[in-house]
Structure 1
Amino acid sequence: MTLLSVIVPVYQVRAYLAECLDSILDQSLRDLELVAVDDGSTDGCAAVLARYAARDPRLVVVTLDRNQGLGAARNTGLSRATGEYVWFVDGDDWLPEGSLAAVADRLTRNRPDLLVTAYTRHYPNGGTRHLSLAQVGAGRPVPETFTLAERPALLSVLHITCNKVIRRRFLLDLGLTFGPGWYEDVSFSFPLMFAAERITLLDRCCYGYRQRPEGAITATVSERHFEVFAHWDEVLTRLDADPAVPAELRHLIFQRMIWHLLQVLGHPRRVPPNRRREFFAEIVTRYRAHRPPAGYQPPGGALGLKHRLVGRGAYGLFTALQVARRAHIGVVARVRHPLAGPQRPAGPAPTTVPGSRTEAVPGELTDRVG
């Protein structure tokens, strides 16, 4: 059996596809297959894939007759994969040199259900942001393998799929696939972490995560952002069906859900203005329905205040807080950069991630449009 199957969904990424394929096929690890799923691309991706498949038999190309979305393309790739482990890599991203060998070494040494790696975001202006896994240990040594209950700080690592390498048999036995619509990583990553009995970390940058202004949910004002609720409902349904999940972990997952939904609502280029009150009401509904029975302790500071306002259903106070915060940020920016004109591009302003010591920028929720 091949050790690793790298699954690459491909949709309208011709400008980046060759770099992605080269970053996988040109590394030293040979014990792999690459399953590329052309999800109805019309920009010439098919020709690029055909050229690479003709020269490297490790590349398997699957072509869908119409665009079905990122989740469906990943599911198709999973159904064709034969490796002991699978890794989902987006077609506009890449794997840094040496990452495949490092991942393979960790897989063969620990045989985990789930391997989580560090990664780096690459922004259009040339900036980068490295996302390490240091917060998972919280100053303590992390064992070679562990469960989520033993290291709940893993929840503070953003719930993307591309920094996770998964034992294929474990995934198939779990019956977990990607759901339809936007934010499909939510209903995939959390159940995956709940169920894994052997999780291991590789705190090395093994993924180059390209932040594109075009084709990303982060830059799309749409009513489709309401689809995030269905994915969180799936997470909560699975959680409720598993009595073995400890109360502390349920509390943290609830907190993470509220944080995520508020991040989506708070982003200026996501929920349409005329639907924001309705979106807030949907958050309130889930807050009240799933609030931990033993009580809920919100995080500290302004973030905790937002959580309390959600609990009260106080949309007017919530929007007033948002306006005041943006005004404060604007004043601080003018004080720090008094000579800056109105067109000066602002860097990402950090906000605290609940339950961790890391930071996440407002655009950190980089779910992509499939």
Structure 2
Amino acid sequence: MKVSVIALVCNVRDYLPQCVESILTQSFQNFELLLVDDNSTDDSEQLCDQYAQTDPRERVLHLTEHRGVSVARNTGVKNARGDLISFIDSDDFVSEEYLAQMVATLTAYQADVVFTEYNELDQQAGIFYFNVVSAAKGEVYELTAQEAAAMPDERLPFRHGCYVHPWGKLAKRELYLQHPFIPDLYFEDGPNSLRIFLATHKVVGLLRDDYTYRIKCPHAITQGTKILKGNMDLLQAFRFRALDMLAAGVDPTSFRAELLHNLQTDAGKLEVANQTDCEEYRELQWLLKLMTQAQVPGQ
């Protein structure tokens, strides 16, 4: 089966070479690399074109205006030529065995989706976090759609981010065609990952750390008026997930601790920004009050 690796590109000129090089040196060779340029303004778009001219496995799609990650991912999926989709953020990178391990696991277990662990690189602090114990590396966990949708599961040695992020996964292209990312929504990854899981018959977790996630520095979404949209989108994303879980008969309490953490964190950001006299802050406080009354575990 052919894999379409989709990398979204938006002003990542300093990191793009490492990402692209890590993909082009994969031991698994039956893939294409689709670079989706979301109207970059830092010469990333020119760098994409240069790559495409030097390697026939690469193609570039330029969006004529900045549309955001959901539209960019959906555009990549629609134009992909592979049977399988793997998203890799253009400021991250992978080991040379990343695709080979993912494809072999998905094939051996006849799964629709395989997700994996990841390492973290905090370049600003000069710290690299290894998140898989060597003795357990390579272990595989088979999950039904319902089990995957009910994550996180404390019995499994995976962090919650493995289930939510679109990167660190390999899935059948038809799943993303049937369940596209929601446009114009921050935190769009949670609702999409949940729908992808619910549409499968089997999900496999592979305990490897061939993907390295680069910890991003704080940016504009945490400042000024954008924080307000971010808060409301966070709540909207949780509501999408909760409604899908209820409709599918999956107990949504599995992510209540995550919701509590996000509510407290975002309320704190608004307090620091002195933006408490607004609808967003009142909504956060109302939900925190309800969760306090319900004595949510982990509070």
Which position in structure 1 is the counterpart of 2:263?
Answer: 261
**Matched position secondary structure for 1:13:** coil
Structure-2 separation of matches of 1:122 and 1:37: 24
| Whole-angstrom CA distance in 1 between matches of 2:238 and 2:133 | 24
Shift of 1:104: 1.9
CA distance in 2, matches of 1:51, 1:22: 13
How does the TM-score come out when normalised to structure 2?
0.82
Alpha-carbon distance change, 216 to 205 in structure 1, aligned in 2, over 3 angstroms: farther
1:311-367 deviation digits (Å, cap 9, x = unpaired): xxxxxxxxxxxxxxxxxxxxxxxxxxxxxxxxxxxxxxxxxxxxxxxxxxxxxxxxx
Greater shift, 17-26 or 187-196, is seen at 187-196
User: What amino acid is aligned across from residue 147 of structure 1 in structure 2?
Assistant: A
Judging changes above 3 Å, is the alpha-carbon distance between structure 1 residues 133 and 263 closer, same or farther for their aligned structure 2 residues?
farther
1:194 CA displacement: 3.5
Deviates further, 88-97 or 278-287: 278-287
Contact kept, 8 Å, 1:160 with 1:189, in 2: the verdict is yes
Q: Structure 1 residues 7 and 165 mapped into 2: Cα distance closer, same or farther (>3 Å)?
A: same
Q: How many residues align structurally?
A: 284
2:276 partner amino acid: R
What letter matches 1:55 in structure 2?
T
Of residues 177, 182, 190 in structure 2, which corresponds to 1:172?
A: 177
The residue that corresponds to 1:274 in the other structure is 275
State the Cα distance separating 1:161 from its structure 2 match.
Answer: 1.8
Question: Which residue number in structure 1 is paired with residue 9 of structure 2?
Answer: 10
What is the TM-score of this pair, normalised by structure 1? 0.68
Q: Equivalent residue for 2:45?
A: 46
1:32 Cα deviation from its structure 2 partner: 0.7
> 1:71 is aligned with what amino acid?
S
In structure 1, what is the equivalent of residue 127 of structure 2?
Answer: 127
Q: Which amino acid aligns with 1:272?
A: A
CA contact (8 A) 1:119 1:207 kept: yes
Contact preservation (8 Å) 2:228, 2:280: no
CA shift for structure 1 position 286:
5.0
The 5 Å alignment of 1:32-111 reads 32-111=31-110
RCO comparison, higher one (Cα < 8 Å, 6+): 2
Quote how far apart the aligned CAs of 1:212 are.
2.7
Amino acid at match of 1:225: G
Could you tell me which amino acid in structure 2 is paired with residue 256 of structure 1?
E
CA offsets per residue over residues 87-122 of structure 1, 9 Å max, x none? 111111111232122112112212322211010111
Identity within the alignment, %: 26
Cα distance in 1, alignment partners of residues 96 and 220 from structure 2: 26
- 1:198: how far off? 0.7
CA RMSD of aligned residues (A): 3.1
**Amino acid in the other structure paired with 2:160:** V
Aligned-partner Cα distance in 1 for 2:258–2:192: 15
From the CA coordinates, give the structure whose radius of gyration is larger.
1
Which stretches in structure 1 are left out of the alignment for 5+ residues? 305-370
8 Å contact from structure 2 (residues 149, 198) kept in 1: no
Q: Map 1:323-362 to 2 at 5 A.
A: none
For the Cα contact (< 8 Å) 1:133–1:203, is it kept in 2? no
Give the deviation of 1:172 after TM superposition: 2.5
Q: Counterpart of 2:156?
A: none
Q: Is the 8 A contact 1:225 1:271 kept in 2?
A: no
The structural deviation recorded for 1:68 is 0.8
Shift of 1:65: 0.5
